[in-house]
Amino acid sequence: MTTGEILKLLPYSEPFLFVDEIIEINEKGCQGTYGFRKDLPFYRGHFKDQAVTPGVILTECCAQIGLVCLGIYLLHNEGQTKSGNLQVAMSSAEMEYLKPTFPEEKVRVVSEKVYFRFSKLKCKVKMFNSHNEIICQGTISGMLKREQDG
C-alpha cells in the first residue's frame, strides 16, 4: 500500500484534515508532516493578540498521522481495507504539551506502535517543530475497523 493510498482512505477532509504527507510507515510506526496555515479557522478565536494552535488540535494531528494512518496500513496488511468505509474512534489520549505551536509552523509527528490487536491500536507519539524540538508527546489509543457490507 502506498502512502498516497493511505491518505485517500483517511476519513477526514478540510478543514479537519491534519496530514500533508507520510514520510515513512511500517509495521512499527509512522512518520508524517502537517503545516499549520495561518488561515485555519480555529486561529481566529484562540488568543486574540497571539494565535496559538490549541492542544486539542495538536492531539488530533498526532492521532491522524500517528494512529489513523498507521492503523490503515496495519488493517491493509490484514486484508481489511479492500471494501467498506473506515470507522475510527479515539478511545484515549494522554498528552504532555511542551512548546507552543504558532501559525505557519510545519510539524513532524512520529509514532511508535505499542500494540495492535482486536482492532485496537495504541501508539506513543511525539510532535516536533521545524527546529526538531518536541512540541508535545504522549500516548493515543483508538479503535479502527472497516464498516461491514450489508
Distance CA 21, CA 115 (A): 23
Q: Considering all CA atoms of the chain, what is the largest pairwise distance in Å, rounded to the nearest integer?
A: 52
Range of the domain at 9: 3-145
Task: Give the pLDDT band (50/70/90) at residue 46.
Answer: confident
Distance CA 30, CA 43 (A): 27
Distance CA 73, CA 94 (A): 23
Q: What is the 8-class DSSP label of residue 10?
A: -
Tens digits of residue pLDDT in 51-67: 999 999 999 999 999 99
Joined together, the cell numbers standing for residue 3 give 502512502
Tens digits of residue pLDDT in 65-91: 999 999 999 988 877 655 557 788 888
Residue 150 belongs to some domain of the structure: no
Residue 46 is among the residues annotated as catalytic for this protein: yes
* Peptide bond just before 100 cis, omega within 30 deg: no
Joined together, the cell numbers standing for residue 15 give 478543514
Catalytic residue among 3, 17, 42, 46: 46
Residue 61's CATH number: 3.10.129.10
Residue 61 belongs to some domain of the structure: yes
Distance CA 71, CA 121 (A): 7
Number of structural domains (the chain) is 1
What does pTM read for this prediction? 0.92
32-47: average pLDDT: 92
Distance CA 129, CA 27 (A): 25
Distances (CA, A) of 88 to 12, 22, 118: 10, 19, 13
Name which residue leads in pLDDT, 47 or 58: 58
Distance CA 32, CA 62 (A): 9
Residue 75 belongs to some domain of the structure: yes
